[in-house]
């Protein structure tokens, strides 16, 4: 398996890889319009809402639940991605959204990584317009491995057993303030705040493994208990998944429904403050 984060030299050394632009914005900006305004030559645009998430779902499934395996396979095939095609995903937000595609593909055994620094570190030419039309590929559907995922009940069990639930949203949203886009403010009781942006250095690139190990140890991660990653809708949490792998700490489970799903269930408590 290729490492979770790769640089431009790696990209240039692997011309067979599909370069995937996964720009999407929480503030409502149009990711596809941003792609057409300028992208890395040869990239294909990935629609996070329609290709990396189920369109029809319950509120308790969260805002971006995983699509079923057949739908995901069809989406990947339409992008020219087969099961054995290496994929390098990027965005212009440090990996915030690109990480979602990388984690989904790695979860089903495909080679995928995030381009460290993304578009903001690209020094080559920029292409405008709709981009290339990918040649369809055959991607065979693979069931999502349940050992890599967690539902709300399993998150509660992990916390109760001494495990760690890491909330990747901003610390302000964790506390219950900031942008309010979910049913209720706050966080999962017993969770810890580990914003996705904390895995990046001042240059918006992934921090060194030793630094990340210290970061996660401070959040309570050890070598014994389970770890589950979540955020608002299972997108930015993927940066914690990749960063823990990068640090050599194993792969945490992903609670895809995340706070958007948890907060939509009136039977589940919400915590605010520290």
Which pLDDT band, with edges at 50, 70 and 90, does 263 fall under?
very high
pLDDT band at 232 (very low <50, low <70, confident <90, very high): very high
State the pLDDT confidence band at 125, using cuts at 50, 70 and 90.
Answer: very high
Looking at 3.40.50.280, 3.40.50.920, 3.40.50.150, 3.40.250.10, the CATH number of the domain 5-121 comes to 3.40.250.10
Q: What residues are annotated to the active site? A: 231
Q: Tens digits of per-residue pLDDT, 180-224?
A: 888 899 999 999 999 999 999 999 999 999 999 999 999 999 999
Residue 43: band (very low, low, confident or very high) from pLDDT cuts 50, 70, 90 = very high
Between 261 and 131, whose confidence is greater? 261
- pLDDT score of 114: 98
Mind spelling out the 3-state secondary structure of the chain? CCCCEECHHHHHHCCCCEEEECCCCCCCCCHHHHHHHCECCCCEECCHHHHCCCCCCCHHHCCCCCCCHHHHHHHHHHCCCCCCCCEEEECCCCCCCHHHHHHHHHHCCCCEEEECCHHHHCCCCCECCCCCCCCCCCCCCCCCCHHHECCHHHHHHHHHCCCEEEECCCHHHHHCCCCCCCCCCCECCCCEECCHHHHECCCCCECCHHHHHHHHHHCCCCCCCCEEEECCCCCCHHHHHHHHHHCCCCCCEECCCHHHHHCCCCCCCCECCC
Start-end ranges of CATH 3.40.250.10 in the chain?
A: 5-121, 146-262
Model pTM score? 0.97
Listed in sequence order, the residues at least 6 apart from 144 whose beta carbon sits closer than 8 Å to its beta carbon are: 66, 69, 107, 108
pLDDT at 25 over 90: yes
Banded model confidence at residue 37, pLDDT cuts 50, 70, 90: very high
Q: What is the pLDDT of residue 51?
A: 98
128-158: per-residue pLDDT in tens?
Answer: 999 889 999 999 999 999 999 999 999 999 9
- Judge whether residue 245 has pLDDT over 90: yes
Q: Give the homologous superfamily in CATH for domain 146-262.
A: Rhodanese-like domain (3.40.250.10)
């Amino acid at each position: 398996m290729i490492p979770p984060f790769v640089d431009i030299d790696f990209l240039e050394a692997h011309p067979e890889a599909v370069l995937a632009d996964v720009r999407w914005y929480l503030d409502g900006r149009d990711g596809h319009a941003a792609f057409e305004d300028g992208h890395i030559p040869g990239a294909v645009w990935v629609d996070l809402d329609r290709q990396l998430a189920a369109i029809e779902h319950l509120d308790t499934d969260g805002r971006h639940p995983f699509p079923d395996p057949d739908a995901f396979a069809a989406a990947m095939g339409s992008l020219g991605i087969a099961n054995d095609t290496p994929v390098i995903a990027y965005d212009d937000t440090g990996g915030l959204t690109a990480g979602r595609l990388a984690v989904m593909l790695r979860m089903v055994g495909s080679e995928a990584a995030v381009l460290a620094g993304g578009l903001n570190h690209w020094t080559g030419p920029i292409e405008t317009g709709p981009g290339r039309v990918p040649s369809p590929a055959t991607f065979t559907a693979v069931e999502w491995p349940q050992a890599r995922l967690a539902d709300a009940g399993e998150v509660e069990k992990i916390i109760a057993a001494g495990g760690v639930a890491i909330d990747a949203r901003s610390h302000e949203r964790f506390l219950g303030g900031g942008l309010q886009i979910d049913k209720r403010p706050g966080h999962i009781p017993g969770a810890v705040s580990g914003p996705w942006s904390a895995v990046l250095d001042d240059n918006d690139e992934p921090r060194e493994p030793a630094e990340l190990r210290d970061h996660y140890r401070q959040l309570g991660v050890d070598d014994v208990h389970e770890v589950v990653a979540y955020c608002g809708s299972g997108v930015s949490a993927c940066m914690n998944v990749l960063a823990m792998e990068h640090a050599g700490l194993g792969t945490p489970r992903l609670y895809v429904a995340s706070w958007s799903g948890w907060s939509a269930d009136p039977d589940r408590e919400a915590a605010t403050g520290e």
